[in-house]
Structure 1
Amino acid sequence: MGEALRDLLVTPAEMAAIDEDAVHSGIESFSLMRSAGMAVSAAALRLFPSASRFVVLCGPGNNGGDGYVAAAALAESGASLAVFALGDVGKLKGDAARARAAYAGEIQAIGTYEPQAGDVVIDALFGAGLARDLPDEVQEAIRRVEDSRRPVIAVDLPSGIDGRSGEIRGASFTAAHTVTFMAAKPGHLLLPGRTRCGTLEVFDIGIPDRVVRARAGDLRINTPAVWQQHASGLDPATHKYKRGHLAVFSGPQISTGAARLSAMAGLNAGAGLVTLVSPPDAIAANAAHLTAVMLKEMGKTGDLAAWLKDRRLGAFVLGPGFGVGKKARAFALMLCGRALVLDADAVTSFKERRTDLFNTIAMEGGQVVMTPHEGEFARLFPEIAADTALSKIEKAQAAAKLSHAVILYKGPDTVVAAPSGRTVVNANAPPWLATAGSGDVLTGIIGAHLAQGMPAFEAAAAAVWRHGEAGTRAGQGATAETLVANIPPFDYSATRPMGRVAL
């Protein structure tokens, strides 16, 4: 697999088109199936060399064909084997029928399978193209396997996971390992599918990179390859203003902590200067906690208008602990022509006035990033959030197009989408990032990137990745403060390979 494909995400529809294009280019379709099935058998023997028996569950389509190829290879290796099929194997067509014919062993009905001690199950029932609930007999087989706690190797995607959305269609296997082909699918990274895949192996079955790239859209796994060209090292002759000046707006006296977290994160993430902009009543509280972060008093829109004449101000963060209401809306609208992160209260403040915000962003043309979590997203984009036919990726894309801003749709499966359609799904965040103040730290990192001149999409994608790495470095006892201290530098010469990753 070429380097260009390692970070690629393709939808099931795109993958189907890629398969067709490969065949039209002269590649025999059965050779692709054979490569897929052989990869599965190799994974089974490599991962479970002491298995008492491999049990292959084969579906009625090409995923089942991959399973029959794997079964034939396992039988040839001398492994103990049992094959169970869904439906009438006499009705198989095309490559699946050819694969079935190449397997000489007995095939039993899936309803007769009873897990035994020592079984390793190979799930070749349904792949990433599944878009309906599983048949009852498959759901029952899944329950038996899950109850038995037998390890499962999934072919393409655990059966029951929608490859487009990651949703569970009635039931699904929980795999220890998943082997997919050419590129990962959204269902491998989006929840809840992500939690059912185990480790993910992306295997090259022989489709040329150019064929894959020709059909793939603008969807990627978030890795440094997406934004690294915008994260160049510091010039030895640089000074603090070249590294960017970030301004973070504080809330009132009793709500100052969130903004200070963002400010410190921005400083640690590389901004040359950070100023905390404080209302008069919070000056004393903020001053008592700041050292390297500068402090500026500001109460009214007129004060902000005067300050904005200083073009050295590179980027702004508005929202953490700021308060919901008229002042947040006024400040946000004044900043839409600049590099701006709108988070938390700033997002919620436009619940009833979102057209004002979206039109101003479009008119002013600033580099604007909005960072809603699920609740905030539903408040600002209620019709998109309520559309159950859309995946999280599609919701983020629709919101970005509507708002004219980069949308960072937060969660364990954070999605970053640009109005142009470019989208990344993040996969490096540990679960203990779900801690108070974590989002404020993320917001500050985005602000630092914007202050240093990164475009909004790359600034947001890079920040999500660095935030995840900070969580890993901080460990399971991470707090917002330790996240700030563990923000990694922009040094990504050795990035993690995507050939096999734990999800």
Structure 2
Amino acid sequence: MIPVYSVAQIRAVEAQEISKRGEASLMKQAAAELASVAVTMLADRPGTEPAFVIGLIGPGNNGGDGLYALAQLQQQGISTLALQYADQVHADASAAYQKAGGTLTDFADGQNELLGASLIIDALYGLGYRAGSPLPSVPAQSYVLACDVPSGLDPETGVAEDNVLRADRTVTFGAMKSGLLTIDAPLVTGDISVADLEFDFSSVSPETQMVDEAAAVELLNQHRSWRDAGRHKYQRGVLGLIAGSDLYPGAAQLTAKAAVNCGIGLLRTHVPESIQPLLAVSVPESVPLDDQQIKEALSSSRRHLHGKGAKISAWAIGPGLDGRTPPTGVIAEVFASRQPAVIDASGLEVVPTGPSEQPRVLTPHSKELRMLLNRAGVKVTPDEIAQDPIRWTRWAALAYNAVVLLKGPTNYIVAPNGSSLVVTHSSPQLATAGSGDVLTGILGYLLSDGSLTGTQGLRTVPNRRIMELTACAAIIHGRLGRVTAEEGTVSASRLIDNLPKVMKHFGF
């Protein structure tokens, strides 16, 4: 996992590193990382030979990083041009670049060259950007690599200007900055890589941890065993789904299909009688579950929380429920159980506040988070949530004694003890009806499988593991969005169709 720090924390550590190692040494190390990523980006974009890289050079160290990187590209035989977007630029870096054979010219004199650039390196401001600072225009569809922070993005708040230089990739230095994960940032940074430059953060506690795909694979494999190949369906996870209504019959089907396409051992479904025939046709693998069977399953599970004796090992509650006609009283018994549960959509309107033995994940978007907080007596505005999402997600996690996943371009996952994880992805296409129902099916499956929770017998799944699996579900969901978007427009049904190959990518 990747630790995430505030700008103030990073500035303090950076100052220490400069005093120990020297500014020039750090700049050249940062430039080497930047140049390496530039070469990779050029290789990933065929048909742009001969390569031509333009650097947008601002004042200070960020511009210096860009100039040193351009010098290294020149030395590798790649044609470059530096466009000076400031009265002054870093003198030593400028000299090194021109010694390498590069050309430095004013932006106004060379901006027409941007049309022919294979890659544009944005080295204007970095951490030094301030709202209202001048920003250049670049041609539409430009291929952009941001040096540390995209210009026009506030690195502390994550708020971006309308004319921000949107990057296809960002190389950020020292550590991941919290402002690269919030509000507008995930929509303008592109893929982020961290060049740690061997900064020493041993005396600083990160604000949170970011989970990426590599970390997700490690987390998913944490409790897997070669013996899993010999399991039967009851040992591969049994998910109880309480969902659907006459008003919203499709949501239950989407969640059920998602769980089945993830590879669940057995899906038990508690849905209104009117939509049982629909579910039987669309998801024939599902097995109906009535009130009496739920009580029997809960009774069995009190003796065997996980393993072959447990008739249901996890629950998914909420997709498509009609808040005006809530499900039968048996749902209260499920909330009183000790099987892990993911609760979404209208299920959030009925989940109780306060202490609970049930390990839960609540999965609201920002509007639903506000509703949850209001139910708990905490008044908050949408703007307040947007400005400080981790804070308000922590309030909800504490009020409901649950892990809370706040959905959005950045997913914030917070436990009742205040610990947190974040997952970010560049899949805006996931903002489509039914996408959340698919996520519920994915997470329901992960929580149901004992080889993933690492929990057997009468032990409950600890909140830390609930958080980790929730982050993994968000990672899977994000990749699912990207894979589906590569093929065309995105809908929940198309997400579900792609689930088997995405799950295979993660080792299922």
Within the candidate set 221, 228, 240, 2:211 is matched to: 221
Within the candidate set 404, 407, 422, 2:420 is matched to: 422
Pairwise CA distance, 1:276: 0.8
Q: In 2 relative to 1, CA 152–240 (structure 1 residues): closer, same or farther, beyond 3 Å?
A: closer
Q: In 2 relative to 1, CA 328–11 (structure 1 residues): closer, same or farther, beyond 3 Å?
A: farther
Q: In 2 relative to 1, CA 246–384 (structure 1 residues): closer, same or farther, beyond 3 Å?
A: farther
Give TM-score scaled by structure 2 length.
0.75
Pairwise CA distance, 1:368: 0.7
What letter matches 1:219 in structure 2? Q
Counterparts of 2:214 and 2:69, CA distance in 1: 35
CA contact (8 A) 1:260 1:276 kept: no
Q: In 2 relative to 1, CA 459–51 (structure 1 residues): closer, same or farther, beyond 3 Å?
A: closer
Show CA shifts across 1:274-301 (max 9, x none). Answer: 2111345555554555532111223xxx
Alignment partner, residue 316 of structure 1: 315
Pairwise CA distance, 1:53: 7.2
Is 1:118 matched up with 2:90? no
What letter matches 1:342 in structure 2? I
Show CA shifts across 1:402-423 (max 9, x none). Answer: 4432222223443333333221
Alignment partner, residue 484 of structure 1: 496
Alignment of 1:313-352 (within 5 A): 313-325=312-324, 327=326, 333-334=332-333, 335=335, 337-338=337-338, 339-347=340-348, 349=349
Pairwise CA distance, 1:329: 10
Alignment partner, residue 448 of structure 1: 445
Is 1:27 matched up with 2:37? no
Is 1:365 matched up with 2:357? yes
Identity %: 29
Counterparts of 2:469 and 2:362, CA distance in 1: 12
Alignment partner, residue 277 of structure 1: 270
Show CA shifts across 1:436-464 (max 9, x none). Answer: 43321221121122122423212322222
Q: In 2 relative to 1, CA 341–384 (structure 1 residues): closer, same or farther, beyond 3 Å?
A: farther
Structure 2, gaps ≥5 residues long: 43-47, 302-309, 374-378, 454-464
Counterparts of 2:122 and 2:142, CA distance in 1: 12
Counterparts of 1:82 and 1:223, CA distance in 2: 35
What letter matches 1:344 in structure 2? A
What letter matches 1:411 in structure 2? G
CA contact (8 A) 2:6 2:177 kept: yes
Is 1:466 matched up with 2:482? no
Which of 402-411 and 98-107 deviates more?
98-107
Q: In 2 relative to 1, CA 72–406 (structure 1 residues): closer, same or farther, beyond 3 Å?
A: same
Alignment partner, residue 406 of structure 1: 403
Alignment partner, residue 93 of structure 1: none
Q: In 2 relative to 1, CA 224–384 (structure 1 residues): closer, same or farther, beyond 3 Å?
A: farther
Pairwise CA distance, 1:320: 0.9
Q: In 2 relative to 1, CA 109–484 (structure 1 residues): closer, same or farther, beyond 3 Å?
A: closer
Counterparts of 1:151 and 1:482, CA distance in 2: 29
What letter matches 2:498 in structure 1? N
Counterparts of 1:64 and 1:369, CA distance in 2: 44
Alignment partner, residue 65 of structure 1: 64
Pairwise CA distance, 1:73: 5.1
CA contact (8 A) 1:134 1:170 kept: no
Alignment of 1:69-468 (within 5 A): 69-70=68-69, 81-86=81-86, 99=93, 114-116=111-113, 117-118=115-116, 121-128=120-127, 130=129, 132-135=130-133, 138-139=134-135, 142-143=136-137, 145-146=138-139, 151-169=143-161, 171-190=163-182, 192-205=184-197, 207=198, 211=201, 215-226=205-216, 227-230=219-222, 232-233=224-225, 235-280=228-273, 282-287=275-280, 289-298=282-291, 308-311=298-301, 312=310, 313-325=312-324, 327=326, 333-334=332-333, 335=335, 337-338=337-338, 339-347=340-348, 349=349, 357-359=352-354, 363-381=355-373, 383=380, 385-387=382-384, 390-393=387-390, 395-419=392-416, 420-427=418-425, 430-453=427-450, 454=453, 455-468=465-478
CA contact (8 A) 2:84 2:105 kept: yes
Alignment partner, residue 498 of structure 1: none
Within the candidate set 2, 11, 15, 1:16 is matched to: 11
Show CA shifts across 1:95-135 (max 9, x none). Answer: x67656767799777677744353564322221464x4132
Counterparts of 2:190 and 2:261, CA distance in 1: 34
Counterparts of 1:53 and 1:270, CA distance in 2: 46
Pairwise CA distance, 1:32: 0.9
Q: In 2 relative to 1, CA 172–297 (structure 1 residues): closer, same or farther, beyond 3 Å?
A: same
Is 1:54 matched up with 2:63? no
Which of 384-393 and 336-345 deviates more?
384-393
Structure 1, gaps ≥5 residues long: 90-95, 351-355, 496-503
Which of 391-400 and 214-223 deviates more?
391-400
Give TM-score scaled by structure 1 length.
0.75
Counterparts of 1:466 and 1:52, CA distance in 2: 36
Pairwise CA distance, 1:44: 5.1
Counterparts of 1:150 and 1:285, CA distance in 2: 48
Which of 407-416 and 103-112 deviates more?
103-112
Pairwise CA distance, 1:321: 1.1
- Say which SS state the counterpart of residue 323 (structure 1) adopts: coil
Show CA shifts across 1:179-222 (max 9, x none). Answer: 322544445555633343345454353x15x6479553431133
Q: In 2 relative to 1, CA 123–398 (structure 1 residues): closer, same or farther, beyond 3 Å?
A: farther
Counterparts of 2:81 and 2:481, CA distance in 1: 43
Which of 73-82 and 234-243 deviates more?
73-82
Q: In 2 relative to 1, CA 127–240 (structure 1 residues): closer, same or farther, beyond 3 Å?
A: same
What letter matches 2:131 in structure 1? D
Q: In 2 relative to 1, CA 254–288 (structure 1 residues): closer, same or farther, beyond 3 Å?
A: farther
Q: In 2 relative to 1, CA 464–97 (structure 1 residues): closer, same or farther, beyond 3 Å?
A: same
CA contact (8 A) 1:328 1:346 kept: no
Alignment partner, residue 500 of structure 1: none
Counterparts of 1:165 and 1:485, CA distance in 2: 37
Counterparts of 1:111 and 1:472, CA distance in 2: 37
